[in-house]
Amino acid sequence: MNTNSLKVVTNIWSKIAKNATTKELEKIEIEIYKKMLNFFQVGDFAYMILNLSTAKLEYISEEIEKLNGYKNSECGLDFLINSIHPDDFPHFISFESTSLKFFLELPVEKMMKYKIRYNYRLRTKSGEYKKVLQQIMPIQVDEEGNMLRTFVILTDISHLKDNHKMKLSYIGFDGEPSYVDVKPLETFEPTENVLTNREHEILLLLSQSKTTKQISEHLCISVNTVATHRKNILKKTKTHNVLDLVKKAIDKGWI
């Protein structure tokens, strides 16, 4: 996987954050710490705070080193996303997309009464993989229903033997019902190796309604080269025209 993996994930998050702005982390109400009490750990764990509107990790606990062997200063969001086992990543994306739909359909007052729970394999510094349980709880939602920050905790569950079945669940609090082993909307295929960096640049410009000549001038390459790239992009993505290409690119999270 590469940086395109992060783009796929952040495209999902941006839809639930809806480009809303956030206050500085230190100004969040004390409730952020109370939410930590909703998690009961059965193994080594680490926790972090994710800003959905900026797609950045604002805090990673030092315990992450117990999980993957890396110090928290080495574990950016892109690094962690790309540490997910390649076979698990499509399911990870599917779970995130399904969870997006779940939270967007909730009334604003209920959004902070649920946590998301699912498992996947995470690569460690030694090159081996650990099975981790990821739990996510909203800790900041504005009055318009924009989810701004989440509290994320990863727990090592490698000692649990269940043939590595990946399960998605929504756990309700304050009397809300829980939904266990939720069926995902669909399983997405990995998209990170579909296009080269140059092809992705051209795709972005095509999505901005740029002509072949304009793209040529912008990238300082010949018109024929742009035309060849366009042809290859359509072939790789199995689309027939720019309109279909852009639509598919948005659906797949390529742009």
Tens digit of each residue's pLDDT (9 = 90 or more) over 169-205:
999 999 999 999 998 876 444 445 578 889 988 998 9
Digit-coded pLDDT (tens) for 80-129: 999 999 889 888 989 998 998 899 889 999 999 999 999 999 999 999 99
Beta partners for residue 135, in sequence order: 117, 153
| Predicted pLDDT of residue 53 | 82
Q: How far apart are CA 37 and CA 156, in angstroms?
A: 18
3-state secondary structure of 42: coil
| Predicted pLDDT of residue 234 | 92
Of 3-7, 38-42, 100-104, which has the strongest mean pLDDT?
100-104
Task: Evaluate the CA torsion angle 203, 207, 213, 214 in order and state its sign.
Answer: negative
| Predicted pLDDT of residue 190 | 44
Task: With beta carbons less than 8 A apart as the criterion, state whether 64 and 79 touch.
Answer: no
Task: With beta carbons less than 8 A apart as the criterion, state whether 253 and 11 touch.
Answer: yes
Task: With beta carbons less than 8 A apart as the criterion, state whether 198 and 229 touch.
Answer: yes
pLDDT mean across residues, the chain? 83
Q: How far apart are CA 127 and CA 1, in angstroms?
A: 15
Contacts of 144 (CB under 8 A, 6+ apart): 18, 20, 108
Q: How far apart are CA 233 and CA 222, in angstroms?
A: 17
| Predicted pLDDT of residue 189 | 46
Q: Which residue has the tokens 């999902």?
A: 12
| Predicted pLDDT of residue 27 | 52
Q: How far apart are CA 56 and CA 117, in angstroms?
A: 20
More confident residue, 131 or 160: 131
| Predicted pLDDT of residue 44 | 83
Which of 19, 52, 65 minimizes the C-alpha distance to 152?
52
| Predicted pLDDT of residue 195 | 82
| Predicted pLDDT of residue 188 | 44
Confidence of residue 163 (pLDDT cuts 50, 70, 90): low
Digit-coded pLDDT (tens) for 9-33: 777 777 776 656 666 655 555 455 5
3-state secondary structure of 239: coil
Task: With beta carbons less than 8 A apart as the criterion, state whether 89 and 1 touch.
Answer: yes
More confident residue, 109 or 1: 109
- In percent, the amount of the chain with pLDDT more than 90 equals 42
**From 135-139, 142-146, 240-244, the region with the lowest mean pLDDT:** 142-146
Residue 207 reports pLDDT greater than 70: yes
Domains and CATH numbers, the chain: 3-172 (3.30.450.20), 197-252 (1.10.10.10)
CA dihedral (27, 31, 32, 34) in degrees, to 10, reads: 150
